[in-house]
Amino acid sequence: MEDLTMRIQSKFNSLKKNEKVAAITIIVILAGSLLLSSGITIGEAFYKINH
C-alpha cells in the first residue's frame, strides 16, 4: 500500500501545475458526487471524521 501511494505521488509530482489543478478538481468532483449519491452531506462527513 505504501509503495502504491509513493508511485501515485511521484506521477502526480511529475505533472505540470495546470494538470495538477485538473486532477484535484476531478478528484473533488468525483468524491462530491459519490457523497451526494450515497446521501451523505459534506457536513455529515466532516462530523463523522471529527467524531
DSSP structural state of residue 15: S
Contact of 26 with 37, CB cutoff 8 Å: no
> Domain residue spans in the chain?
2-50
Nearest to 20 by CA among 33, 2, 38, 8: 8
Tens digit of each residue's pLDDT (9 = 90 or more) over 11-34: 878 888 888 888 889 888 888 887
Given pLDDT bands bounded at 50, 70 and 90, which one contains residue 40?
Answer: low
- What pLDDT shows up at residue 23? 86
Q: What is the spatial distance between Cα 51 and Cα 37, in angstroms, rounded to a whole number?
A: 23
